[in-house]
Structure 1
């Protein structure tokens, strides 16, 4: 079970993300973002080594208010083969755990495998801020075959992650792909065989709801 530490972070997550977000093709804000966390959830790493967090951000520096989904992993050592600008968000000093390497979770096989487990119903979402508390607001559905989706050892070979203006696609095989909805306000696409939904705090204080991730047939196209 992941332990949520309420401690100091230097830089803070919003500060770290403000430097990284403008480098992403799916980012829809301005050149000097001031992201605000308005929702999200966590997943447990069975090995207890990797922190896994899905953050929903609002950003108002662009021509229109933007909402972005940013899945992150936190590691105590660098992730092999993930040191480029797309994968590595940066490093921070954690008040309890020390130096942490922060990655875009779409490039981390632990996050991808645990997200697939969530979609299949083999694990459950955890509250973003409280240890050992399931997040019942996060829902999932899967209508695929009985065969399990790929595990961590079978995903994220070189070239399997693609970022573009629409979001992020992780190829799971020749005819299967995981899509991360960087703007969760977009509707559920046709051809979806599995998905995760969640909510976040809207500008007026009400709860808004949208799609965080989908699994679709047809590969990464």
Structure 2
């Protein structure tokens, strides 16, 4: 399991996201976001090289708080061909320079997420080492999922990001988190976070649908 280091990050993840989020089509704010890290989970990279985090960031800049799903990967060197997906670089107090990427473009995150859909791996706590996150649920009603082994076309809309899998199944990341479940999904991964009113928010983070 991944080791969580209690150390410094310069700039912080939220510093990077404050600049990056307004560049996204699905960002609903009209100004600079006011972000808090409200929850999420991690997945392990079997090779132990890439950090994988599904972060929920809550933006309080508007009249109502908005909860965003931000899948991120952290690497010790740039991911070839992924300059367009770079969120920013940070200096980690233990690991040194880290390149943070929008994880939907990272094949390691995609492979881990598809394994989670199928129940072959388990979600890990966001901020604790060697601890499972039991609030994360998953289901999948189809055949074995095929992981894209090359570049894929990633598209964005006002609610999320999606990409096709080799068998035609569509993987969707629900960026603006809402309690309503997606219609027609054959699989989902759901999680929870701390809402600004002190309750636990819950929504589908990612889903699968067939053509």
TM-score bracket for the superposition, by shorter chain length = over 0.9
Poorly superposed stretches of 4+, deviation over 6 Å: none
Describe the superposition over 1:24-60 as per-residue Cα deviations: whole angstroms up to 9, x where unpaired. Answer: 0001123211210111000000000000000001102
What SS does the corresponding residue of 1:173 show, helix, strand or coil?
coil
Name the stretch that deviates more: 169-178 or 203-212: 169-178
Partner Cα distance (2:73, 2:150) in 1: 15
- Map of 1:149 onto structure 2: 145
Partner Cα distance (2:101, 2:150) in 1: 14
Would you say the 8 A contact 1:29–1:65 is kept in 2? no
Post-superposition offset of 1:110: 0.3
- Map of 1:16 onto structure 2: 16
What SS does the corresponding residue of 2:7 show, helix, strand or coil?
coil
What SS does the corresponding residue of 1:116 show, helix, strand or coil?
helix
Q: How many equivalent pairs are there?
A: 211
- Map of 2:126 onto structure 1: 128
- Map of 1:38 onto structure 2: 38
Q: TM-score, normalised by structure 1?
A: 0.92
Q: Where does structure 1 lack aligned partners over 5 or more consecutive residues? A: none
Would you say the 8 A contact 1:29–1:64 is kept in 2? no
Task: Calculate the aligned-residue CA RMSD, in Å.
Answer: 1.2
- Map of 1:112 onto structure 2: 110
1:93 to 88, 91, 94: 91
In 2 relative to 1, CA 103–22 (structure 1 residues): closer, same or farther, beyond 3 Å? same
Q: TM-score, normalised by structure 2?
A: 0.96
- Map of 1:139 onto structure 2: 137
